Amino acid sequence: MQSITDQFFNLTIMAKTLPLMLSGLWMTAQLCAAVILLGLVGGLLVALANISPRAWLRIPSIVFTDIFRALPPLVLLIFIYSGLPFAGVEISPFAAVALAFLLNNSSYYAEVYRAGILSVGKGQWEAARSTGLTKAQTLSSVVLPQAIRNVLPDLLSNTVEVVKLTSLASVVSLSELLYNANMARSITYNASPLVLAALIYLVILWPVVRLVSRFQRKLAA
């Protein structure tokens, strides 16, 4: 029992590696800010293309979402990080992660937005258009606010997934939370830093996961 505590919940080691973990957390936070923002904006654009009546916009955007729903994000990340240099494009780990997740997350967010936009009744479009609002105005003032409210739980749960995905950046040696934790583990020969990293993720994400569940129950009721 003692040995298990020592191996997994060694407070001395946790305390010693805390600064390293916090600097990793800071990188994770920056990464989250970048990829969530990129995903939310990219996803909206893809969703709008997805429901466009113009085939030259719609068909490529549907192919886009299908392909990036099928490709594992890690494969995409490795492809960009290790593959692009072969084409003569040097790319930093941060940029590789941002680009990979822009592609991956846009297609996921797009699906959520699309469902939201379709959940707003045709009557809302007609009412707004009949008062002389343009298509763009109708979309931004009338349809999107309702659409986003309708799919808020899904947007939130997708964002949880995005945050979890940033841990993949450790594979391309970006010194975010998991990378630093794993480095600390290999230096100390002790799993406590990994446990600490898990606890940090839990502290941040558990409340959000609870919130999503509560939201969903409220919508179902």
Partner 1 sequence: MNNRPMLEIVSLQKRFGENLILRDINLKVARGELVFIIGPSGSGKSTMLRCCNRLEEPSEGDIILDGRNIMSGTSRDLDQMRLKVGMVFQGFHLYPHMSVLKNVTLAQRKALGRSADEANARAMDMLDRVGLAEKANAMPSELSGGQQQRVAIARSLALDPLVMLFDEPTSALDPELVGSVLAVMKDLKSKGMTMLVVSHEMEFARETADRVVFMDGGVIVEEGAPEEIFGAPKADRTRAFLSRVRR
Partner 2 sequence: MQNFLQTFFNTKVMAQYLPDILSGMLVAIWIGLAVVVAGIAGGLALACLRTYRIRACNVFIICFADIFRALPPLVLILLLYFGLPGAGIRLSGPMVLFIVLALTLAAFAEEIFWAGFASIEKGQWEAGISTGLGFSRTLIYVALPQAVRLAMPPLVNRVLAITKMTALGSVIGVSEILSAATTAQSFSGSATPLSMAAIAYLILFLPLVFVARMVERRQDMRRGR
Chain positions contacting partner 2, by CB under 8 A:
3-4, 7-8, 66-67, 69-76, 78-79, 82-83, 86-87, 118-119, 160-161, 164-168, 170-171, 178, 181-182, 185-186, 189-191, 194-195, 197-198, 201-202, 205-206, 208-210, 213, 216-217, 220
Taking CB under 8 A as the criterion, which residues in 109-128 touch partner 1?
121, 123-124, 126-128
Name the minimum Å distance from CB 171 to partner 2: 6
Longest dimension (CA), the chain: 74
Q: Is 130 in the site for partner 1 (CB under 8 A)?
A: yes
Least distance (Å) between residue 61 CB and partner 1: 23
Residue 120 Cβ, how far from partner 1 at the closest point, in Å? 10
CB 44 within 8 A of CB 109: yes
Residue 3 contacts partner 1 per CB under 8 A? no
Residue 91 or 152: the one with the smaller Cβ distance to partner 1 is 152
- Mind giving me the DSSP string for 128-154? HHHTT--HHHIIIIIIHHHHHHHTHHH
Q: What angle do CA 19, 24, 27 make, to 5 degrees?
A: 130
Out of partner 1, partner 2, none, what residue 128 binds, judged by CB under 5 to 8 A for its kind, is partner 1
Report the distance separating Cα 133 and Cα 139, nearest Å.
9
Whole-number Å distance between alpha carbons of 51 and 40: 17
Site for partner 1 in 140-169 (CB under 8 A): 141-142, 145-146, 149
Could you list the residues that contact partner 1 (CB under 8 A)? 121, 123-124, 126-134, 137, 141-142, 145-146, 149
